[in-house]
Structure 1
Amino acid sequence: MNILCFGDSNTYGYRPDGTGRFDEKTRWTCLLQKKFGNRHRIIEEGLCGRTTIFSDAFREGRRGLDQIGITIETHNPIDLLVLMLGTNDCKTRFNASSKTIAKGLIQVIEKAKKYSSQPFELLIISPIHLGNGVGDDGFDPEFDLASEQVSRQLAQEYRKVATHYHAGFLDASKIALPSEIDREHLDESGHATLADTVYKTITESGLLEKGMDSSFCHIA
């Protein structure tokens, strides 16, 4: 079965020290593939700076809404879609509330449904929180205190979205912290913990078993 992981830099595996991308022994998506072995195929679709619906004037092609349809169509058929977006939506220039970001996530989901060749299961991951002082000098000026606060409110809104779609839900902030190096990205241990928890969430929730049950009501 095909599992598409669609997210931002923390799905891409961006290193907190800014030296590039973690290797396949470290990224949570690759660790997840190792756990599933040959039973399921993990499709990595992480992009640094990706948002739900907001266009970034400084970085081309970052709107998840613009990319999800093409991505789904490229990798069809998809059995399980794992979405982890929202961190970049917290940037100051977007001035978005957690409710607005959740509405953007819904648009991404609806677009995915439109382009999928078959019904699929859905796992929504609310991202890790932005660390205290992420916008301080020497860190990331694209964020500020308000950004931190919005990031802490995403889980509540994302849980509502998951309930609406009868989807799986995971609050990554409960199990992983941003690196102290940049106060924004997962470090090696964070990737390992997230991989373990995503695997546990998928297997214990029976999402893939639902995908194999033609009588179950999938997202379509």
Structure 2
Amino acid sequence: MEHKPLKHILCYGDSNTFGSDPDHPGQRHPYQVRWTGRLQHLLGEDYRVIEEGMGGRNTVWDDPLEDNRNGLRFLPVALQSHKPLDLVILALGTNDCKSHLPANAATSTLGMARLIDTVRRFDYGPVMSAPQILLLAPIHIGTEIAHSSFTMFDDASRAMSMELGPRYRALAESCGCAFLDAAAVAGPGADQLHMASDGHQAVAEALAPMIRGLL
């Protein structure tokens, strides 16, 4: 019996894609709780949701305090590893807001533009086409971040996080990408940075109908 081809979705993100649990520091939400796992459940067996989340990953910056966090550097590896792909969800931006990185909302948007360009220009081979792209702007950093355990974030980080959604939306429109602002449906949990289970559910429920319309 011939099997119907799956629609492959790469979710390329940071700790909120990895599923860091704000109520249990150092631990990870179970797969079925993370937005990627919930999205897989909502979309069903005709789709394969590929989770590629890493704590601390940013768009394009080398972090002097954490190795291997440059999202631009690893993206081609992920594309090569998981092709063929029908959709890439780019879910980065929060870590660009770290106080020691040379980024602001404008340059973070330029960094995201480079990621979009990388997905589109990557060599998928003679029989595979470039995937569609959905830009997922991050949730806002919490109001008490300066008093949290995340010393690399401060009040200016929160302010920058609140600028990313509108800028990423404009970028998505100019580049012809789909867009969802996660901050419109979810926020941070007790640790001021990561989504609790209800946030993961809300993001997945917002994404699922969009993806069905795209693929």
Tell me whether the two structures share a fold, i.e. TM-score over 0.5.
Answer: yes
Residues 1:119 and 2:126 are matched in the alignment: no
Q: 2:194 aligned with 1:185, yes or no?
A: yes
Is 1:50–2:57 an aligned residue pair?
Answer: yes
The amino acid that maps onto 1:20 is Q
Residues 1:198 and 2:207 are matched in the alignment: yes
Aligned residue number for residue 16 of structure 2: 10
Q: Which contiguous aligned blocks of 4+ residues in structure 1 show a shift greater than 4 angstroms?
A: none
Matching of residue 160 in structure 1 with residue 166 in structure 2 = no
**Equivalent position of 1:215 in the other structure:** none
CA contact (8 A) 2:20 2:27 kept: yes
How far apart in 2 are the matches of 1:191 and 1:173? Answer: 12
**Alpha-carbon distance change, 37 to 116 in structure 1, aligned in 2, over 3 angstroms:** farther
Partner secondary structure for residue 193 of structure 1: helix
RMSD: 1.1
- The residue type paired with residue 15 of structure 1 is D
Quick one: distance in 2 between partners of 1:130 and 1:27? 18
Aligned residue identity for 1:22:
H
Q: Which amino acid aligns with 2:211?
A: I
Distance 1:97 1:38 in 2: 40
- What is the CA–CA distance in structure 1 between the aligned matches of 2:182 and 2:47, rounded to whole Å? 22
Distance 1:202 1:37 in 2: 12
Query: Number of aligned pairs?
Result: 204
Is the contact between residue 78 and residue 116 of structure 1 (CA under 8 Å) also seen in structure 2? no
CA distance in 2, matches of 1:61, 1:50: 8
What is the CA–CA distance in structure 2 between the aligned matches of 1:132 and 1:201, rounded to whole Å?
Answer: 30
* Aligned residues of 2:16 and 2:195 also touching (Cα < 8 A): yes
Percent identity over the alignment is 36
- Letter aligned with residue 50 of structure 1: R
Structure 2 stretches of 5 or more lacking a match? 1-6
Structure 1 partner of 2:158 = 148
1:52-71 to structure 2, matched below 5 A, reads 52-71=59-78
